[in-house]
Amino acid sequence: MSRIPVLTLAAAAGWSLGACAGGRADRAPGDLRGYLLEHPLPKPGFTLTATDGSRFDFRPATDGFLTLVFFGYTNCPDVCPVHMSNLGAVLPELDPQVAARIKVVFITTDPRRDTPAVLRTWLDHFSRGFIGLSGDSSSVAGVQTALQLPPAVVEKATAADSAYTVGHSALVVAFTPDNLAHLVYPYGTRQEDWAHDLPALVQGAWGGGRK
Amino acid sequence: MRWWCSALLGVPWSWRWQAYPGVWFFVLALAVAYTWSVRRLPDNGQLTTDNAADRQPASPRDITLFALGLLMLWIGADWPVGVLAAGYLLSVKTLQYLLLGYIAPGLMLLGTPAPLLRRLTRGPVTSRLARLLTRPLIPLAVANGVLVAVHLPVVVDNLSRSQIWTFVLDLAVIGSGFVFWWPALARLPELHPMSYGARIGYLGLNVFLPTVPASFFTFSQYPIYALYELAPRVNGISAVADQRVAGILMKLCGGGILFGTMSVMFFRWYRRESGAEPEGLRVPG
């Protein structure tokens, strides 16, 4: 078994971001289905390469949007396709005005295999609107650290090996329109949960209260 | 070594063959029991009717039907259908339900010679049970109760990872299949089976009841089962698409089996009424 399910289990069991960086996540009060962070995370500023080859300046490009950030890779056998598939299935079912306020950003943890073209083809499987970003390993690790996530770990890859796995966090970090991440969503988040929470988050509601 | 197919949580689907010896043992045990029982029949079978078929304890047709039933059971319970059904695709679970709950028991019941059925239902408890199950209300309740129970999200999501529980649930489905077909096929005239018309009505009612879960599968906006929604994807099939295929399979194939049986019964009824039913026909009434 790869490392992903281990991380997944930790996340599903109420894994705390503090395990790596001093934060804390609890099941959100009220009726939201995500896990509420004790200390909201500020939206980091970073620039990576989009699938069309352009530079993607994350903070201004997502300003004012509900932005769901996930780190993964296209050869991921379990967590990544399930998260992306579930989000890809739910967004078209939402009110179009709500869906238009949501951006899904997938940052590859396997730049060696995930070329922009590969990443685009894979994401299009789920939604043509998903944003795919790539960068060198140290840049991506820096973003993960900024989000208090454990950096991805390439397992047993040699120069000739193209069938390796990459251990990575299974959390989707949700930045609300105030440019803070109040909630995270572990592997195990269902389509119903997304359909329930996303409209509320777009309206600026978290922790059971609405702004 | 795993012995019965159950959900392999978090493990990506692989077409690499896996052995499930518990399934082989189960199918082999049924085959041995059938062969042994059928071979003993000429000595001990109680021939209580003048029906010509009763004088042939196990015709080649019986053996073929029973063997086909066993084959369907084996296909439904073993890799890959059993594993895909237990933890990856709801559509395959539905196919498995049709194999284990409808096709295999029906074929096996049709392939069991009447003298053997008579022997099996000779005891005080089994004879009472056989008479009870000949009446349609209890089989209707049992078959549809099992159908609903094994499709409850709480059952599917929580029990599918346990080999013992999947074995118990598969046994329940197979058992409910025998209970379901018992009054419809009504092999023993001495149990005063329902008329052809009543049997057609009984099957017709069973066409409509599975429509309820089938409709949930087909028209539900989001996946019903966390197990299949969160399972690693198989060939990129989305959870909702898989669920819709499951609903269509249950409705069309399940309905097809029952409508097919109803049609055969109708024509046999017609032939009997017109005096053209051949002697020794298996389905009395």
Note the ipTM here: 0.81
Q: What is the mean pLDDT of residues A55-74?
A: 97
CB spacing of B222 vs A195 below 8 angstroms: yes
Sign of CA dihedral B115, B116, B118, B122: positive
| Percent of chain A residues past pLDDT 90, beyond the cut | 75
**Pair of tokens at residue B239:** 């959870």
Asked if pLDDT for residue A23 goes beyond 60, the answer is no
Asked if pLDDT for residue B103 goes beyond 80, the answer is yes
Asked if pLDDT for residue B13 goes beyond 90, the answer is yes
What's chain A's length in residues?
A: 211
**CA distance linking residue A85 with residue A71, whole number of Å:** 14
The DSSP string of A172-205 is EEEE-TTSEEEEEE-TT--HHHHHHHHHHHHTTE
CB spacing of B223 vs A5 below 8 angstroms: no
Asked if pLDDT for residue B279 goes beyond 60, the answer is no
Instruction: With H, G, I as helix, E, B as strand and everything else as coil, classify residue A2.
Output: coil
CB spacing of B226 vs A82 below 8 angstroms: no
Q: Taking every pair of C-alpha atoms in chain B, what is the biggest distance, in angstroms?
A: 61
Asked if pLDDT for residue B98 goes beyond 80, the answer is yes
Asked if pLDDT for residue B225 goes beyond 90, the answer is yes
Q: What is the mean pLDDT of residues B125-140?
A: 92
Asked if pLDDT for residue A81 goes beyond 50, the answer is yes
Asked if pLDDT for residue A22 goes beyond 60, the answer is no
Asked if pLDDT for residue A7 goes beyond 80, the answer is no
Residue predicted with more confidence, B251 or A13? B251
Q: Does B14 touch chain A (CB under 8 A)?
A: no
Instruction: With H, G, I as helix, E, B as strand and everything else as coil, classify residue A1.
Output: coil
DSSP class of residue B180?
Answer: H
Chain A residues with a Cβ under 8 Å from any Cβ in chain B: 1, 4-5, 8, 77-78, 81-82, 85-86, 88-90, 93, 125, 187-188, 190-192, 195
Confidence of residue B208 (pLDDT cuts 50, 70, 90): confident
CB spacing of B238 vs A8 below 8 angstroms: no
- Among A12-21, A106-115, B16-25, the range scoring the smallest mean pLDDT is A12-21
pLDDT of residue B251: 92
Query: Average pLDDT over chain B, rounded to whole?
Result: 90
pLDDT of residue A30: 62
Q: What is the mean pLDDT of residues B121-130?
A: 92
Sign of CA dihedral A187, A190, A191, A193: negative
Q: What is the mean pLDDT of residues B34-40?
A: 91
